[in-house]
Amino acid sequence: MALLEPPAEILDQPDRLPVTFRILRWEAGELFITPRGSPAGKEVDALRLHVPFEDKVLGAPYWDVTAGNLIARLRPVLAELVASGRPIRITPHGSPPLTRHQVDFL
């Protein structure tokens, strides 16, 4: 897989703080990250979800998803979400690395 271009915009919300957005397009790749408390970085699988400017007013207009369980949950529905323009709400439950993500289709 190709390395995604910086900057990274990791979707890493605090416990139970949801984020809502629409997906215009997406790409799969890898990101080089340095996990909290780790001296060394590593490459991880990622989905880059491009969103409208009005859905994310700070930073680059995309979210980078690196949580394996969230990638697995989103992959089967990405084409439908892009085609429909339907918003989603993602709510994290717990703290990394044990975070699980609730995905609501609005």
- Are the CB atoms for 28 and 46 separated by under 8 Å? yes
- Four-residue CA torsion sign, 4, 44, 32, 8: positive
Strands of the sheet with 62-65, listed across from one edge: 25-33, 42-50, 62-65
The structural domains of the chain, with segments of one domain joined by +, span 19-105
pLDDT at 1: 81
pTM score, whole prediction: 0.93
The pLDDT score that the predictor gives to residue 66 is 95
pLDDT of residue 36: 76
> Which two structure tokens, joined as six digits, stand for 32?
């080089």
Return averaged pLDDT per consecutive 10 residues of the chain, 106 residues in all.
94 96 98 83 95 97 97 97 98 92 96
Whole-number pLDDT of residue 8: 95
